[in-house]
Amino acid sequence: MKTVKYENFPDCAKKIRKKVFIEEQGFQNEYDDTDNTAVHFVLFDENEMPVATCRVFRDAGKASYVLGRLAVLKEYRHKNIGSLLIREAEAYVRSAGGQSLVLHSQCQAADFYRKSGFTEYGDIEDEQGCPHIWMRKPL
C-alpha cells in the first residue's frame, strides 16, 4: 500500500468519494469549493488501485487543520486503511506547523476516530440528514 499526496482534486479521489458518499450513503452535495484548495491523500493497494481518500485544509476560523471526506471502499474496510490515512494527514499537518487536527465526524463513525485519539466537542449537528459531531486531536 502506498499513499500519494495531491495538491489538486484528483479523479481517483472523486470516484472513491462518489462511490462511498453518494452511491452508498446517499449524500447529494459531496463536492465543494474546499476541494479546489485542499490537499488530497489517496491510498493505493498493492495492485495500484485507489481504495481510500481524505482531504486536509487549514481553517483559520478554527485555528486548526481540518481532516475531511475520509472514504474507504467497502471491500477494504476493517483493514486499518482509514487509520493509515489519518496518520498520513497528521504527518502532513505537523510538517506544515499545525498543532491540532479537527474533523466533522458522522456520529456512527466517532468510535473509529476515538481509537485514533480524537475527542468530541460541541453539539451534534445535522448534515444532509446525518448526525455529525466535531472532534479534535492535538498533535
Q: Is the pLDDT of residue 92 over 90?
A: yes
Q: In the block, which residue shows the cell 499537518? A: 93
Higher-pLDDT residue of 60, 40: 40
Count of CB atoms situated within 10 Å of the CB of 52: 25
pLDDT digits (tens, 9 = 90+) for 76-91: 998 999 999 999 999 9
Strand order in the sheet with 130-138: 2-6, 39-44, 50-59, 64-72, 100-106, 130-138, 119-127
User: Which CA distances in Å does 48 have to 40, 52, 92?
Assistant: 17, 12, 22
Parallel/antiparallel/unpaired status of strands 119-127 and 64-72: unpaired
Q: Is the pLDDT of residue 61 over 90?
A: no
Q: Is the pLDDT of residue 8 over 90?
A: yes
Helix ranges restricted to H, the chain = 11-17, 81-95, 110-114
pLDDT digits (tens, 9 = 90+) for 21-58: 999 998 888 999 999 999 999 999 999 999 999 999 99
pLDDT of residue 21: 93
* Average pLDDT of the chain to the nearest whole number: 93
Q: In the block, which residue shows the cell 493497494? A: 45
Look up the pTM and report it. 0.92
Q: How confident is the model at residue 130 (pLDDT cuts 50, 70, 90)?
A: confident
Higher-pLDDT residue of 124, 129: 124
83/115 Cα distance (integer angstroms) = 9
pLDDT of residue 62: 72
User: Which CA distances in Å does 18 have to 9, 25, 58?
Assistant: 13, 10, 24
